[in-house]
Amino acid sequence: MAARLPGLGAVVAAPLVLLARAVDPPLRWWQRVAGQGGMAAVFLLPNLAIFGVFVLVPLALNLVYSTTAGTGILLGGRSFVGAAQYARLLECGDYLDALTCREDMFWTATANTFVFVVFQVTTMVAVATITALILNREIRGRGFFRAVFFFPVLLSPVVVGLIWRWILQRQGLLNLIMVSLGLDPEVWLNDRTYAFAATIGVSVWAHMGFYTLILLAGLQAIPKDLYEAAEMDGTPPARVFRRITLPLLGPNLAVVLVLALIRGVQIFDEVYVLTGGGPGTSTLYLTQYIYEVGFASVLRNPGLAAAASILMGLVLVVLTLCQLRLSRRGAARDAK
């Protein structure tokens, strides 16, 4: 018999086998010492470490920074000021008029973000629902369209911003097309309304695929025979949608709504690349404000930025709690 050569699989697996052999004895020793519970801790440790380093520690640091003042980045050079940064942010003559506030930019950004979220989330939910309804039908090339609508989700937000700037800028694609059609070109990103609309349109374009997918999953979970029962009764399509589709899609719609809210509040990358917050401050949103106050302005103020981000975090916590409640209610309903 010829000597057997090791297969490709064995070659690939060899280093893994070696590694497994190396970690096996210490793990066994630890199990003897610490028991089953101790083993659980060992296996949880790597993830916990990552979560700690990238989430918990920054969160704690952020809290600390928000109670200090100064321009230095290192904690050593900063002085403790208590809640002064929060007070500064919240100091306002009239809360309805950003210009009467001490940190008017914070309030402008907050107001902008609020308006943005209202419009963006409504548009997002509407567009994603309609797209999901269309993609749920037996149409030709359904798989292709599903991929097409999901594709932008995979793009880096910066790439999204760059693509759309290239389309919308003064000598961009859109203006080229308009000129070739005999229309007057428009400086889209220099117009307050157009720029604001562009931030909404672009962020919807970039993220709707994700929400469409959630809604599509919800639509496909609705049993086909419910629609057939309605068809036997001659139920008009509008009534089928209102009385069957909408109520049964409710939990998915709620999840989409809250997720879109959470992500809308945090909008940054695409917009920063697309408009940079302009023209003026018309598309300046909260995250960009925080970034600029903390890192990008001449008189940087990490303490103020930290306080602002904690305030924004509180809003997000409330929204996340809503989402958790909704998805738990959904799970409880599914379990029945």
Partner 1 sequence: MGRIALHDIRKRFGATEIIHGVDLAVEDGELVVFVGPSGCGKSTLLRLIAGLDRPSSGTIEIDGRDVTRLSAAERGLAMVFQSYALYPHMTVRQNLSFGLENTKMARDEVARRIDAAARMLEIAPLLDRRPTQLSGGQRQRVAIGRAIVREPAAFLLDEPLSNLDAELRVTMRAELAQLHARLTTTMIHVTHDQVEAMTLADRIVVLRQGRIEQVATPLDLFNRPANLFVAGFVGAPNMNLLSATARDGRAALPGGLDIPVPRDGPCTIGIRPQHLHPAEPGAPALEGQVTLVEALGTETVLHARTPDGTALTTVVQGQSPLRPGQTLRLTPDPHEIHRFDADGLRMDDPGAAR
Closest approach of Cβ 245 to partner 1, in Å? Answer: 11
Question: Would you say 24 or 225 has its CB closer to partner 1?
Answer: 225
Question: Would you say 31 or 220 has its CB closer to partner 1?
Answer: 220
Q: Which of 24, 91, 97, 231 binds partner 1 (CB under 8 A)?
A: 231
Among the listed residues 186, 183, 188, the one whose alpha carbon sits nearest the alpha carbon of residue 202: 188
Of residues 208-227, which lie at the interface with partner 1 (CB under 8 A)? Answer: 223, 225-226
Q: Which of 234, 238, 299, 332 binds partner 1 (CB under 8 A)?
A: 234
Closest approach of Cβ 325 to partner 1, in Å? Answer: 19
Closest approach of Cβ 332 to partner 1, in Å? Answer: 12
**What is the contact mask toward partner 1 in residues 10 to 49, using x (rule: CB under 8 A)?**
----------------------------------------
Find residue 101's DSSP bridge partners.
92
The answer to whether the beta carbons of residues 204 and 263 sit under 8 Å apart is no
Q: Is the dihedral of CA 295, 300, 303, 306 positive or negative?
A: negative
Maximum separation of any 2 CA atoms in the chain, in Å: 93
Question: Would you say 15 or 234 has its CB closer to partner 1?
Answer: 234
Cα–Cα distance, 299 to 296 (Å, whole number): 9
Question: Would you say 251 or 302 has its CB closer to partner 1?
Answer: 251
Q: Which of 233, 238, 299, 332 binds partner 1 (CB under 8 A)?
A: 233
Q: Put residue 192 in one of left, alpha, beta given phi > 0 → left and psi -120 to 50 → alpha.
A: alpha
Q: Is the dihedral of CA 143, 145, 146, 147 positive or negative?
A: positive
Question: Would you say 55 or 331 has its CB closer to partner 1?
Answer: 331
Other residues' Cβ atoms within 10 Å of the Cβ of residue 276: 15
**What is the contact mask toward partner 1 in residues 240 to 279, using x (rule: CB under 8 A)?**
---xx--xx-------------------------------
# of chain residues touching partner 1 (CB under 8 A): 18
Structure tokens at 251: 């939990």
83 near partner 1 (CB under 8 A): no
Residues near 248 by beta carbon (within 8 Å), at least 6 away in sequence? 218, 222, 226
Among the listed residues 301, 310, 271, the one whose alpha carbon sits nearest the alpha carbon of residue 112: 271
Other residues' Cβ atoms within 10 Å of the Cβ of residue 64: 14
239 near partner 1 (CB under 8 A): yes
One DSSP character per residue, 218-235 reads HHHTS-HHHHHHHHHTT-
The answer to whether the beta carbons of residues 80 and 68 sit under 8 Å apart is yes
Of residues 147-206, which lie at the interface with partner 1 (CB under 8 A)? Answer: none
228 near partner 1 (CB under 8 A): yes
Question: Would you say 84 or 244 has its CB closer to partner 1?
Answer: 244
336 near partner 1 (CB under 8 A): yes
236 near partner 1 (CB under 8 A): yes
Residues near partner 1, by CB under 8 A = 223, 225-226, 228-236, 239, 243-244, 247-248, 336
